[in-house]
Amino acid sequence: MSQINRAGIWMSRVAGCGSALPERRMTNLDIARMVDTSDEWITQRTGIKERRIAARGENTSDLAIGAAKAALQHAEIRGADVDLIVLATCTPDRTMPATAVRVQAAIGMHGGAAFDVQAVCSGFVYALAVADNMIRLGQVRTALVIGAETMSRVVDWYDRNSCVLFGDGAGAVVLRAERYTGDAPRGILSTHLHSDGRHEDKIQTDGGVSSTQTAGSMHLAGREVFLHAVVNLAQASQEALTANGLTQDDIDWVVPHQANQRIVQTLGEKLHLPMEKVVLTVDHHGNTSAASIPLALSEAVADGRIKENDLVLTPTMGSGFTWGSALIRW
């Protein structure tokens, strides 16, 4: 599924971004005290050194609200100015209602619409595509797109194959409708979304509301996921470039889903892109699922790497399998 901006009336400009992380840092050494692993193994196989873990009582919505407020401040707008919240999460506070409505109330947005989308690690790009399409249609003018997760709540802390990989956090971007000018326009240039449910068991929880009345805990076929991730991330990246008539040389920054440093490095090699153009946060965030791309975007904007007019590619891949990309002129 693709959406490419070709002389529509509206396009979505990124007006601001922000993030929120729990206070508590969990290092590899902390994990090595719980399961049979080591800092050396985790660092070599994943690049992860530490991750943030939500405190007891600190929920996905708390992180989402923190990221939303930071993004609103960066965009210099109020919550009341927002027409739409699309929140990507696979770890909602409650089964119902959507976590997005908690954010809506907390930021003082009393009109418009707020809802969640669930595409696991691809959730942020899916949410971005939904909001972008609604802006292009003229349905909304200002959207808040959030990726927020407390993955620590679905991790099996006895399973060394998976518990070393994940972390908690949230990131958000504000999108604002702008008239499409046709002359190197800034904003979301394209989105591409894919899924293939034949792989639904490769990363999954062993529970769910309908089947077991519990959230369950996560299991993954790490090596298989790794191989698919490399192929799908490269395909989604190439698809975005081809659709926009661009090559990898035009890209200023790749901000991929942060699952494993080796996956990201292999992606860089496949795209013939130097690692200096790739934003890496997996070392200090771990894999935060839907939050990973907006957390990385916020970090690279805050430290001055991503600047106005930079071309930013965000390939993603996750449970389902789901995968895709957004190409953004910042």
Cβ atoms of 61 and 148 within 8 Å: the answer is yes
Q: What is the largest CA-CA distance in the chain?
A: 57
Least distance in angstroms from the C-beta of 110 to ligand ACO: 36
Q: Is 121 a residue of the active site?
A: yes
Q: Give 313: exposed, middle or buried? Use CB within 10 Å, 0-12, 13-18, 19+.
A: buried
Least distance in angstroms from the C-beta of 161 to ligand ACO: 5
* 229 touches ligand ACO by CB under 6 A: yes
C-beta closer to ligand ACO: residue 109 or 282: 282
C-beta closer to ligand ACO: residue 31 or 311: 31
Place of tokens 């699922």: 289
d(CA 127, CA 146): 8
Place of tokens 């922000």: 18
* 279 touches ligand ACO by CB under 6 A: no
Cβ atoms of 80 and 110 within 8 Å: the answer is yes
For residue 316, the SS3 value is strand
Binding mask 230-259 for ligand ACO (x = CB under 6 A): ---------------------------x-x
Note the Cα 277 to chain centre separation in Å. 18
Give 71's Cβ-side CA count (13 Å radius): 36
Least distance in angstroms from the C-beta of 46 to ligand ACO: 5
Q: Is 17 a residue of the active site?
A: no
C-beta closer to ligand ACO: residue 44 or 213: 44
C-beta closer to ligand ACO: residue 12 or 162: 162
DSSP of 82-145: --EEEEE-SS-SSSSS-HHHHHHHHTT--SSEEEEE--GGGHHHHHHHHHHHHHHTTS-SEEEE
* 219 touches ligand ACO by CB under 6 A: no
Name the active-site residue from 121, 163, 194, 244: 121
Residue 10: in which H helix or E strand, if any? Answer: strand 10-20
Q: What are phi and psi of 226, to 5 degrees?
A: -55, -50
Note the Cα 48 to chain centre separation in Å. 17
C-beta closer to ligand ACO: residue 39 or 252: 39
Binding mask 102-141 for ligand ACO (x = CB under 6 A): -------------------x--------------------
Q: Is 287 a residue of the active site?
A: yes
Indicate which single residue of 140, 170, 278, 317 sits in contact with ligand ACO (rule: CB under 6 A): 317
Binding mask 159-198 for ligand ACO (x = CB under 6 A): -xx--xx---------------------------------
Name the active-site residue from 74, 192, 257, 285: 257
Interaction with ligand ACO in 27-66: which residues (CB under 6 A)? 37, 41-42, 45-46
C-beta closer to ligand ACO: residue 13 or 52: 52
List residues near ligand ACO by CB under 6 A. Answer: 37, 41-42, 45-46, 121, 160-161, 164-165, 203, 220, 222-223, 225-226, 229, 257, 259-260, 287, 317-319
